[in-house]
Amino acid sequence: MPSSTFSSERLPSAPLLATLQSAFLLFLLTVLALEIGLAARGIRPNQEDSESLWLHERARADALGARALVMIGASRILLDTDLTEMKRQMPELEPVQLAIDGTSFVPILRGLAQDRDFHGKLIVDFNDYLIDSPQTLPSDNIAVTWEHDFEEDRAHPWPRFTRMEDRLQDLVRSHLRAYADGSRPWSALTHRILARHPAAQYLTILPNRSVDADYRRLPEPQFYLSRISSTLNLKIHYDHRIPWPLVMQTLAGYIARLPAHSNAVYLHNIARLNDEIHAIQQRGGWVALIVSPTSGLVRDYLEEQNPRPFFWDLLVSHVQAPALRIDDLALQAGFLCPDDSHLDRHDKSAYTDLLMQQLRVAGLDAIPQR
């Protein structure tokens, strides 16, 4: 009979321990080799834009009360706005970035409208096409999911192991180049180390969730054409022997022939949008709709798809909140988007200054700080 509860038979055998140690050492060497390879390519670690980080900022939007200056929308307001400049210009407010790349502002606005704890200032990066059709966002849409998870966490405020695990994961990944700007170890290996033409790191995700884009690091015109291809949902096969002006002329002609969207449900959706804005205003909050800068073919495409007289002008005449065409003012001031959709990081501060000027004119300064 064993003299101790901890029998030697229950401990891993020496060969098993050696195998586990070897596997762990191999894992560490693989991680180290990948990090060294990425460092040689000039890749820098940065913050991962995770759900955990968004949930933290979403909770801040409530906790700050009337001092919160919240932004919702998609990639344009993520890349274009300089939160440090916002804070410098209005130190009494705390900028909170809740925009989510590649998704709609609608679920977040709806959540804020229904949230009795939110009575801050809200900037909505508005796009006509997001409300020119019935709201049929899938349940797995990232904005729907993250807002739902926030509401679940608020309803059950006790610590949850999954949230603690997510925060620990964020901490680790923010120090690894393999996860820089949304990458993963396999994609980092294949696209940044082994590829003949490695994918450049032109995005830097900051701890406040805003994003810096350095377009000087990208190969052109390939990247520009890939962006236009994505916007138009069109496959573009570029032959460098074709004169660039002819390429642009062909794409402009394609855009000009596209039929405009119907605004049959637009007015109905404006009414719903107005209800959500009014709910925030009734609690002492403040809301402004802005149109972020675009240029070139993307601007032409948006204008053709949603002609202003039948979309934007309807919005302005019905919505009971400031609605600002910052894109027009930015274009007049000489702000051009390298990919026609987003500003370069070198223009962020000056553009944010322009944005804040217009928000003050629209009444942001007049809102009492409680």
306-355, pLDDT tens digit by residue?
Answer: 999 999 999 999 999 999 999 999 999 999 999 999 999 999 999 999 99
Query: From the centroid of its chain, how far is CA 210?
Result: 8
Could you tell me if residue 127 is inside a domain? yes
DSSP 189: I
| Residue 9's pLDDT band (cuts 50, 70, 90) | low
Residues composing the chain:
370
What tens digit of pLDDT does each residue of 272-316 get?
999 999 999 999 999 999 999 999 999 999 999 999 999 999 999
What tens digit of pLDDT does each residue of 141-173 get?
899 999 999 999 888 877 777 788 888 888 888
pTM to 2 decimal places = 0.88
Residue 1: its pLDDT value, please? Answer: 44
Could you tell me if residue 240 is inside a domain? no
How far, in Å, CA of 155 to CA of 366, rounded? 34
Distance set, CA 364 to CA 123, 288, 368 (Å) = 10, 9, 9
Could you tell me if residue 16 is inside a domain? no
Q: Based on the structure, what is the number of domains in the chain? A: 1
Could you tell me if residue 236 is inside a domain? no
Could you tell me if residue 214 is inside a domain? no
- Please give the residue range of the domain that contains residue 86: 51-163+263-366
What tens digit of pLDDT does each residue of 193-205 get?
888 888 889 999 9
Q: Which residue has the tokens 């009014």?
A: 278
State yes or no: pLDDT of 108 exceeds 90: yes
Could you tell me if residue 254 is inside a domain? no
The enclosing domain of 80 has a CATH number of: 3.40.50
Kindly state the greatest CA–CA separation across the chain.
90
Q: Which two tokens stand for residue 8?
A: 């030697």
Q: Which two tokens stand for residue 317?
A: 């005449």
For the residues 259-270, what does the mean pLDDT come to?
Answer: 89
How far, in Å, CA of 230 to CA of 187, rounded? 20
Could you tell me if residue 33 is inside a domain? no
Could you tell me if residue 280 is inside a domain? yes
Q: Which residue has the tokens 């805003």?
A: 210
Instruction: Determine which of 17-26, 113-122, 249-258 has the lowest per-residue pLDDT on average.
Output: 17-26
